[in-house]
């Protein structure tokens, strides 16, 4: 099997040409900065939710938001949250083993179904209550949907609705005082995983095919390289 992470599948969706350059020819795009503050918040949230997981009760913030969701108690959670292991499933038609590390999995006590949760951290004047149509928001949606697909492939009954647990730092505070104050919101998304299998088949076909696939018109990296090449060759 050919292992493909959720992030690499997203790279393929963003631009097949950049993906093939990376995976087949080892020409990776320039790396971006690491978001260490966001990672710190994620890590602290996971500690809090693990306390609720051990007690099998809703996290205090989730209860305050009016939900009774309980963190899933499963011996596989540590593996599922590990970005290098993650939830894995072999897609036999493409021979691709897709995998990804989740932030959390909760249980809806009313139905017994599990639901995917992804932590998001930002700073705005108002708490986040919905996502827009920006491309990075669409990437957030695909992220949840891949995790839903993976859990279903592992035999779990998964709610179509997943959630982003948003921690929004208040930008309008009077002072910093060595701390940030966060507002919590749960933002729902009705997942649609129907795009995943066609994407895996197309990814495999592009990897097996000679030459490079066409660049995606919206790919900023390819746009930059094309314009640079035009200038250099003028």
Per residue in 189-200, pLDDT (tens digit) is 999 999 999 999
For residue 53, how many other CB atoms are within 10 A of its CB?
A: 21
Q: Does one domain contain both 4 and 107?
A: no
Mean pLDDT estimate for the chain: 96
Half-sphere exposure in the Cβ direction for 218 (13 Å, CA) = 8
Number of domains the chain contains: 2
Domain that holds residue 44: 33-193
Q: Does one domain contain both 215 and 164?
A: no
Q: What pLDDT shows up at residue 30?
A: 87
**Closest residue by Cα to residue 9 from 116, 134, 98:** 98
Task: For 33-48, write each residue's pLDDT tens digit.
Answer: 878 889 999 999 999 9
Q: What pLDDT shows up at residue 45?
A: 96
Rounded to whole angstroms, the Cα distance separating 185 from 74 reads 25
Q: Does one domain contain both 68 and 15?
A: no
Higher pLDDT, 33 or 4: 4
Q: Does one domain contain both 137 and 165?
A: yes
Q: Does one domain contain both 107 and 133?
A: yes
Q: Which residues of 204-234 are buried (b: 16+ CB within 10 A; e: fewer)?
A: bebbeeeeebebbeebebbeeeeeeeeeeee
Q: Does one domain contain both 95 and 183?
A: yes
Tell me the pTM: 0.94
Q: Does one domain contain both 26 and 130?
A: no
Q: Does one domain contain both 77 and 104?
A: yes
Q: Does one domain contain both 98 and 148?
A: yes
Q: Check pLDDT > 90 for residue 182.
A: yes
Q: What pLDDT shows up at residue 173?
A: 84
Q: Check pLDDT > 90 for residue 103.
A: yes
For residue 21, give Cα distances in angstroms to 1, 2, 31, 33, 206. Answer: 20, 16, 15, 21, 11
């Amino acid at each position: 099997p050919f292992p493909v992470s959720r992030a690499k599948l997203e790279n393929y969706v963003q631009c097949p040409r950049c993906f093939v350059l990376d995976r087949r020819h080892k020409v990776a795009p320039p790396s971006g900065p690491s978001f260490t503050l966001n990672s710190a918040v994620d890590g602290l949230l996971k500690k809090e939710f693990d306390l609720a997981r051990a007690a099998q009760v809703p996290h205090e913030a989730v209860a305050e938001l009016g939900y009774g969701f309980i963190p899933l108690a499963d011996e596989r959670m540590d593996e599922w949250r590990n970005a290098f292991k993650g939830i894995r499933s072999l897609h036999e038609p493409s021979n691709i083993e897709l995998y990804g590390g989740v932030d959390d999995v909760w249980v809806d006590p009313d139905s017994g179904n599990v639901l995917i949760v992804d932590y998001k951290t930002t700073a705005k004047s108002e708490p986040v209550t919905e996502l827009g149509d920006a491309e990075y928001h669409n990437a957030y949606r695909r992220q949840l949907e891949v995790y839903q697909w993976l859990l279903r492939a592992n035999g779990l009954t998964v709610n179509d609705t997943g959630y982003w647990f948003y921690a929004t730092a208040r930008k309008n505070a009077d002072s910093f005082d060595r701390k940030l104050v966060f507002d919590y919101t749960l933002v729902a998304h009705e997942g649609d995983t129907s795009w995943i299998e066609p994407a895996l088949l197309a990814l495999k076909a592009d990897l097996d095919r000679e030459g490079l696939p066409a660049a995606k018109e919206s790919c900023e990296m390819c746009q930059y390289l094309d314009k640079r090449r035009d200038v250099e060759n003028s």
